[in-house]
Amino acid sequence: MPRPFQLVDVFGQGDFTGNPLAVVADAEGLDSETMQRITRWMNLSETAFLLTPTPAGAAAGADYRVRIFTLERELPFAGHPTLGSCHAWLTLGGRPREADTVIQECGAGLVPVRRRGDGGGLAFAAPPLIRSGPVDEADLAVAIEVLRISRSRIVDAQWVDNGPGWMAIMLASAEAVLALDPAPSHPHHVDIGVVGPHAPGGDAAFEIRALFSNQHRAIIEDPVTGSLNASVAQWLFASGRVQSGYVAAQGTRLGRTGRVSIDRDESGQVWVGGTTRTLFTGTG
C-alpha cells in the first residue's frame, strides 16, 4: 500500500543545514525487521515511522505514535526524530487534541511537543534521564581513546542517558571541542557527547559534538542531536553552569549550521527547540 514519505531537515538555519530525518507515515503493517531494513537502506542516522497510538497511549492523550530506528537498533526516544516526526504528522493533516501542544507516544512514553511562539519551529519537553551520575574511570578511558585526548583535558564527565545511552564529556572551550579528531573506530560501542562553552557575545553559548558507533563499530558524528542537547541541558542546569535559556551550536565540523534552542519554564521543565522543514515528499 502507498505510504506518504518525507525528508525533513531539523535544527538547521536554512535548507540542508541541519540533520535530515526520513519519516514514513501510515506505517501500520510494517514489522520491526522491515523498519530496520528500510532504515539501513535510507542510510540516515535515524528513520521514523508514524503509527496510530496504542490503546493505552490514546487513553493517556497521545495524538500519534512513532517508532525510531538507527542503522543499528530501535531507540525508545531521540530528539531530532521527535521534532521531525511531529512536523511531518502536522503537515500531513494531523490535528492535535490541544491547540498548541502535540502529544507523541514513543518507546520512552509520552512526549509533549509544542509550537514555538517565535515562529522558530517546534520544541519538545526533555524526558527524564534513565541514567545519570559520574562516569567511572574505566568508561572514561574508552571515551579518551575515542576522542584521542589526555585525561587532563576533561573538565567534567557525566552520564546523561535519556534513551540512546549518552555519556557527556565537558572540555574547557568550544575551540577544544571543534579541534577534536576522533578515532575512526573502536571495539566498544559508544555514545559520546562533547560540550564546551563559546566566548560570550556570539549567537551560541555552547558547541556540541555527538559521536556514536554504527553497526560496524565505526565512529560516526551526528550533525545535530536533540536527545543529547536535552540531557546536556538538564546537566548544565542541575550543576548550576547555566541559569537561563541558551542556544547550542552543533554540526560545525560537518559543514552544518545546527542551532538548538534551550529553555526552562517556571516548573523547571527543559524544552528543546529548533526549526523543521520538509525538503522532499513522496510515497513509497
Which residues lie below 8 Å from residue 170, measured CB to CB, with a gap of 6+? 154, 155, 156, 157, 158, 194, 195, 196
Helix (H, G, I), strand (E, B) or coil at 206: strand
Rounded distance, CA 22 to CA 83, Å? 12
| Catalytic option among 28, 33, 46, 221 | 46
Q: Helices 79-91 and 226-238: crossing angle, nearest 10°?
A: 120
Q: Which of 91, 66, 94 is nearest to 78 (CA)?
A: 66
Angle at 226 between CA 170 and CA 219, to 5 degrees: 65
Alpha helices, DSSP H only, in the chain?
Answer: 32-42, 55-59, 79-91, 137-147, 174-178, 226-238
Which residues lie below 8 Å from residue 79, measured CB to CB, with a gap of 6+? 124, 225, 226, 227, 228, 229, 230, 272
Rounded distance, CA 145 to CA 137, Å? 12
User: Quick check: is 137 catalytic?
Assistant: no
| 132 contacts 91 by C-beta, under 8 angstroms | no
Enumerate the active-site residues: 46
